[in-house]
Structure 1
Amino acid sequence: MSKIVFITGASKGFGKLWAEALLQRGDKVAATARNIYALEDLKAKYGDNILPLALDVNNRAEAFDVVEKIEKHFGRIDVLINNAGYGLFGTMEETTEEQAREQMETNFFGSLWVAQAVLPIMRKQKSGHIIQVSSFLGLTTLPLLSLYNASKFAVEGLIETLGTETAHLGIKTTLIEPNGYATDWAGASAFQTTADITDYNPVREAFSEATNTQEIWGNPAATVKPILDIIDSQNPPQRLLFGKIAYNAIHEIYTKRLQDIESWKEVSIEAHGH
């Protein structure tokens, strides 16, 4: 049975790739983007099976209006893929207030508004699956991405909590945690702070050297089967790492964290007080 899938940030990158994969196999897709002209090729090819809609996820009212249009057009929403977001590169100290607020507004609040908008429909259906594109940087950090890291840590807490609130209603949640991929996330879609504190130049140089290799960047096409498998699963994972860099990094970090927790176990218990 075909599914009705709502994807945000569908004009390029993962969003557009996954939208086309879903359409190719016969699902129906509501695809949103700030610039829906980027979806004209999919509309020409798949006709009424795709509903392109303009959406700025920062606008909560607009998110609810778009969801109302999707329900009216397709009758239901089986899956939400909350994909809209961008990366902000620069040290924490160099980040302006406007840049910090905009990063949180899109990556965190945008995800919140869209999820809130689809929940009444999914509650009514007593079914649904909210797939949130987070990052392995929602579980660990890299320098020069402090606000991006923070936005994804916040998203992790939001969606994990949502899963505990909606499980009894038949609504599932999954956090997708990719490492870097060869999309334009770190290119045209990225924003930079104004780097002017020279004390941070060694950090910038080390970051540039570490990321200047093709080996660390995943192949976006390789994510198509995994995302379809998650959508089709009766028991989808709460979290799924995408990419060998993400897997290796998080495995190592969590092993070290567990070691630290155990080595300070007695102090932790003592701090309870009774």
Structure 2
Amino acid sequence: MSKTIFITGASRGFGRIWAEAFLERGDKVAATARNIEALNDLKAKYGDAILPLQLNVDNRSEAFDAINKAANHFGSLDVVINNAGYGLFGAVEEASEQEVRQQFETNVFGLLWVTQAALPIMRKQGHGHIIQLSSVLGIFTLPVLGIYNASKFAVEGLSETLAQEVKGFGINVTLVEPNGFATDWAGSSSFHSESIEAYDGVKKAFNDGLTDDAFGIPEATAPAILKLVDEKNPPLRYFLGKVGLPTTQQVYAQRFAEWEQYADVATAAHGK
């Protein structure tokens, strides 16, 4: 049975790949982009199955308008995928106030506005699935991406809470957590803070540690997303790529060891 999918950031990268995968199998897609001309070829190929919508997710009223247009046009809203976002590269000290605020405006607040817009519709329907594009960097961190890490940690906390609040309405929430993929995310889609020379060594070590094998093939994610959307009881968390699980296992082993080292201190601090 076909579904109605609303997906942000559909002009390129994961958003584009996933939107076309949904359309190819017969789903209806409301695809948003800041420049909807980038969706003209999909409109020409798939016709009425796709509804291109111009949207800057930073704008809350635009987010509500786009969600309502999609629901009114297709008559329902089965799945919302909050895919829009970008990376900010730079040490924490290097990030300007404007860069930090803009990173959170898009990656956190933009996702929140779309989510808030979709919830009343899904509650009324009695069903829905909200998919939040997080990252493995919402679970563990890498240097030179501190502000981006922080935005994805925020998405994780927000969405985990949301999942508990809306489960009783028949609404599921999933955090999709990709590792690095060979999209344009680290290219022209990203931003770089003005450098401070003191961090050159940290950046060199970070870049030297990157290998081609660590980056997945974006198109290979489409079957995983189709499977997720079709799950009757979708998971809260969903890795994409081969890096996330083993790295997370290692990171959490280190975290538990550190917590356990100070367990007696923590217990005493409870006071009773």
- TM-score per shorter chain, which class? over 0.9
Give the % identical residues. 58
In the alignment, structure 1 residue 217 sits paired with structure 2 residue 215: yes
1:10 alignment partner in structure 2: 10
1:188 alignment partner in structure 2: 188
Q: Tell me how far apart the structure 2 counterparts of residues 101 and 115 of structure 1 sit (CA, whole Å).
A: 20
TM-score by length of structure 2 reads 0.98
The residue type equivalent to 2:183 in the other structure is T
Q: Tell me how far apart the structure 2 counterparts of residues 16 and 252 of structure 1 sit (CA, whole Å).
A: 33
Question: What is the correspondence of 1:90-105 to structure 2 with a 5 Å cutoff?
Answer: 90-105=90-105
Shift of 1:268: 1.8
Question: What is the correspondence of 1:197-212 to structure 2 with a 5 Å cutoff?
Answer: 197-211=196-210
Q: Deviations over 1:63-103 (max 9, x none)?
A: 01111111110011000000000000001111110001000
Does the residue aligned with 1:112 lie in a helix, a strand or coil? helix
1:242 alignment partner in structure 2: 240
Shift of 1:258: 2.0
Shift of 1:265: 2.2
Gaps of 5+ in 1: none
2:263 alignment partner in structure 1: 265
Does the residue aligned with 2:270 lie in a helix, a strand or coil? coil
Does the residue aligned with 1:5 lie in a helix, a strand or coil? strand
2:142 alignment partner in structure 1: 142
Does the residue aligned with 2:173 lie in a helix, a strand or coil? strand
The residue type equivalent to 2:7 in the other structure is I
Shift of 1:261: 2.4
Gaps of 5+ in 2: none
Q: Deviations over 1:90-126 (max 9, x none)?
A: 0111111000100000000000000001001000001
The count of residues paired between Structure 1 and Structure 2 equals 272
Q: Tell me how far apart the structure 2 counterparts of residues 203 and 219 of structure 1 sit (CA, whole Å).
A: 27
Shift of 1:138: 0.4
2:82 alignment partner in structure 1: 82
Q: Deviations over 1:28-78 (max 9, x none)?
A: 000001011111111001000000000000000000111111111001100
2:252 alignment partner in structure 1: 254
Q: Tell me how far apart the structure 2 counterparts of residues 20 and 93 of structure 1 sit (CA, whole Å).
A: 40
1:154 alignment partner in structure 2: 154
The residue type equivalent to 2:142 in the other structure is L
